[in-house]
Structure 1
């Protein structure tokens, strides 16, 4: 573990409501470290916008928390709000269709599962809360990828060969891009056996008040359950749930697939 990183991050804990601004000398004393070491760590934090320098002279410097922390805090707040809003509808959907329900978001260049409601069936899935997976694998991640900008799609898909779990055959990029376009047109994503063998996933977008896709509502289960009238039932209920969650987030448009 990088001790310099840990020491730098611990310096952020020195800033409180009562100590919104600290001098280099104060930080050095509170952290019990030499001023040159403290200055080097503070400079690194400043370069990343975690801190900003309010004053500097030949004798001392003064620092405050930077706006990057506000940005990160807002992201965490939005995720917590999304989970809190979506969970009751996810639980209701799980009771109706008795399949595993996930809430998936984009996190950097991956998809991260931030909420999950289990079914009563004996089914073990690859996913768990906090788990990340490639954006090209599974219905939820692929739905999110489909609604990213063309630039972001190229960034995700442009690095080396792409493989599904357990497969030694590379994914055909042209076919994948065609699939992403189909997802955008139809408004939902469908996958079979891409993350877990013998399982199917179906996902619908969750929109915010700006009509932007911010998450995927993903339903996963044994492929044998996703057939005929039951598939129609699952799609209808899932689409309705995704729309209900979106409306709670301020979305007022249409845009939901069949």
Structure 2
């Protein structure tokens, strides 16, 4: 880890339930850093809202943890909550459709698979919890990309699709279709001969916070079985969303 980053993170670790507030002098002493170095690191942290300067005079300053940490903590809390709520529903869905069921979120401009229930079939996909994927490849990632704010969506697309030879205009049209139809569908995008279908999971603020993704060999995603997979997956995504406090109308889905 970069030494400056390590030193800055160590400063944050000085705050605890017994030390909500620390002076610049205390921070420098407890971190074994020269006072100018501690001040420089704190100034950087303050500019990013990780710490808040309460008072400054000619002798010293006092600091508290900033609201950015509260925001990040809420994101972690939301992720833990959606995993806890979704898992039993994912288990039930996997038993009904006999395919692998995943839970996918946006993480640092990528898609991250944070939960999985395996298929009971002998042939299984090589996906795993913690796997990262670009947001423009696969049904789950693209569903999440479709629901991002336009500015962030545009930046992710511009930073990534050109290098991969992906047609930007076609992708944008697909993302618009996903929002209108309420689900995402992909074939052989992450793995050959596999199909993925994803539905949005909403929170109590009516925001899409995760994708419920069903994937398996494409030969099973046909005819009546495909209709069953889509129907049961829609129902499950709505059930999870309602459990998380969502009260709105799901786009593209008759509830």
- What TM-score comes out, normalization by structure 1 length? 0.91
1:161 match: secondary structure: helix
**Which residue pairs with 2:17 in the alignment?**
17
The one of 176, 183, 195 aligned to 1:188: 183
**Which residue pairs with 1:129 in the alignment?**
129
Contact 2:24/2:63 (<8 A) preserved: yes
1:123 match: secondary structure: coil
Unaligned runs of 5+ in 2: none
Give distance in 1, aligned partners of 2:152 and 2:38: 37
Q: Are 2:42 and 1:42 equivalent residues in the alignment? A: yes
Deviation, 1:209, is: 2.2
**Which residue pairs with 1:211 in the alignment?**
206
Deviation, 1:204, is: 0.7
Q: What is the correspondence of 1:54-203 to structure 2 with a 5 Å cutoff?
A: 54-121=54-121, 122-125=123-126, 127-159=127-159, 161-163=162-164, 170-203=165-198
2:119 match: secondary structure: coil
Unaligned runs of 5+ in 1: 164-169
Give distance in 1, aligned partners of 2:207 and 2:80: 18
Contact 2:87/2:115 (<8 A) preserved: yes
Please tell me the root mean square deviation across aligned C-alpha atoms, in Å: 1.7
2:68 match: secondary structure: helix
Report the number of matched residues: 251
Would the alpha carbon gap of residues 28 and 150 (structure 1) be closer, same or farther in structure 2, given more than 3 Å must change? Answer: closer
Would the alpha carbon gap of residues 46 and 102 (structure 1) be closer, same or farther in structure 2, given more than 3 Å must change? Answer: same
Deviation, 1:234, is: 0.8
Deviation, 1:26, is: 1.2
**Which residue pairs with 1:166 in the alignment?**
none
Deviation, 1:72, is: 0.6
Contact 2:125/2:216 (<8 A) preserved: no
**Which residue pairs with 2:3 in the alignment?**
3
